[in-house]
Amino acid sequence: MIIAVQGTKSFSDYETFMRAMGVALSQPNNEDIVEVWSAGPYKINSFTAAFCNSAENYLKQKGFKVVFRKVPENYIVENLDYVSYFAFFSKKNEKQSKLVSAAELADVETGIYRF
């Protein structure tokens, strides 16, 4: 299972981020590896790393290995066929990235989270 994450520079609500990761993990999964790709910016990368570190022990008990990777946006676009869930984070009234449109066109389950 691959979860891709991206957000805006102004997004700072860790609670909303964690709720989104719960939704992402509730997606059907037949694999024993959960990869989380983060396309930034810095705060989103930090949230993602913290999530992976805190969830690692719990997911290990369930038989999953957790892998965290910081990747550029174009890497996600090129590999959308492998992505199970895409989460985008922003404040209200901010524009979505091009990656949101690309994920929706590729029929990837997409969650847009705003606070």
Mutual orientation of helices 42-61 and 14-25 as an angle, nearest 10°? 40
What's the pLDDT score for residue 52?
94
Q: What pLDDT, on the 0 to 100 scale, is given for residue 57?
A: 87
What is the chain's pLDDT, residue by residue, as a tens digit (115 residues)? 999 999 999 999 999 999 999 999 998 888 899 999 999 999 999 999 999 999 988 888 988 999 999 999 999 999 999 999 999 999 999 999 999 999 999 999 999 999 8
Number of domains into which the chain is organized: 1
Residue-number span of the structural domain to which 81 is assigned: 2-114
Is the link from the previous residue into 72 a cis peptide, with omega within 30 of 0?
no
Q: Is the pTM of this model over 0.85?
A: yes
Q: What torsion, rounded to 10 degrees, do the Cα atoms 75, 101, 13, 74 define?
A: 10
* CATH code (residue 59): 3.40.50
Q: Where are the alpha helices (DSSP H) in 37-114?
A: 42-61, 73-78, 98-105
Tell me the β-bridge partners of 33: 65
